């Protein structure tokens, strides 16, 4: 059995459903309510397919390219840490991706599904939390279920986006995104330490 709560928190931090809200609203502001529902469903399906693909084939692709999973874990941890720092000290996720939505034709795939929902961090998490040499197929299925729960939460928030944004405002979404950035920085550091431990065979306790 996996630790459900840590895995759920991990995916919630990297997918950041609350941070997706301003992006969704900016990308769909010219559309009708019916069109917004369709775009939300399309974004949910697209991001689900992408992340499930990384769960199934991510490690296989790395193995075929002769990239040790520990090296991927350290590199990914560094990237996640830098991304988390930008969320904490720089522009938060909603602020960055709203700018993308303002300059690029708004579609369900970009920037909503990618990179807002299926972010690089989410793709990395999908691979790291389903390592074949650590987790059984049943445990990987449990991890996939936790990821799908977060994606469903994201879908619900997108469908209720107008009401939620009126409730918390852009400032509230930015604050929550920064808190998620701090959590993500901690998770990134854990991944770096775990990757170093795995690569050198150290006895440091690794938290996946």
Per residue in 189-202, pLDDT (tens digit) is 887 887 888 788 77
Give the tens place of pLDDT for each residue, 126-181: 988 998 888 999 999 999 999 999 999 999 999 998 788 778 777 777 777 778 77
Q: 58 lies in which domain range? A: 4-200
Asked whether residue 34 is assigned to any structural domain, the reply reads yes
Give the tens place of pLDDT for each residue, 31-49: 788 888 888 999 999 999 9
Q: Give the length of the chain.
A: 208
| Model pTM score | 0.71
Asked whether residue 101 is assigned to any structural domain, the reply reads yes
Nearest-angstrom CA–CA distance, 186 and 56: 26
Asked whether residue 121 is assigned to any structural domain, the reply reads yes
Asked whether residue 207 is assigned to any structural domain, the reply reads no
Task: Look at the alpha carbons of 136, 140, 143, 149 in this order and tell me if their dihedral is positive or negative.
Answer: negative
Is the pLDDT reported for residue 115 higher than 90?
no
Nearest-angstrom CA–CA distance, 198 and 125: 17
Q: What is the mean pLDDT of residues 2-8?
A: 90
Asked whether residue 35 is assigned to any structural domain, the reply reads yes
Asked whether residue 82 is assigned to any structural domain, the reply reads yes
When pLDDT is cut at 50, 70 and 90, the band that residue 97 belongs to is: low
Look up residue 118 and give its two tokens. Answer: 């299926």
Asked whether residue 208 is assigned to any structural domain, the reply reads no
What is the domain count for the chain? Answer: 1
Q: 20-32: b or e for each residue (b if 16 or more CB lie within 10 Å)?
A: bbbbbbbbbeeee
């Amino acid at each position: 059995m996996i630790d459900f709560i840590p895995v759920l928190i991990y995916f919630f931090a990297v997918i950041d459903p609350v941070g997706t809200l301003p992006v969704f609203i900016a990308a769909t502001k010219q559309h009708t309510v019916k069109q917004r529902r369709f775009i939300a469903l399309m974004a949910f399906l697209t991001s689900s397919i992408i992340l499930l693909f990384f769960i199934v084939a991510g490690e296989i692709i790395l193995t075929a390219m002769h990239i040790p999973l520990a090296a991927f874990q350290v590199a990914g941890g560094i990237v996640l840490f830098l991304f988390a720092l930008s969320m904490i000290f720089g522009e938060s996720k909603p602020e960055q991706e709203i700018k993308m939505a303002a300059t690029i034709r708004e579609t369900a795939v970009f920037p909503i599904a990618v990179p807002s929902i299926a972010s690089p961090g989410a793709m990395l998490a999908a691979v790291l939390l389903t390592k074949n040499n650590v987790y059984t197929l049943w445990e990987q299925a449990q991890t996939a279920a936790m990821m799908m729960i977060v994606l469903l939460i994201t879908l619900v928030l997108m469908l209720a986006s107008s009401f939620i944004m009126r409730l918390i405002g852009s400032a509230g979404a930015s604050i929550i995104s920064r808190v998620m950035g701090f959590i993500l920085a901690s998770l990134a550091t854990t991944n770096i330490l775990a990757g170093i431990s795995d690569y050198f065979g150290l006895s440091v306790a690794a938290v996946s």
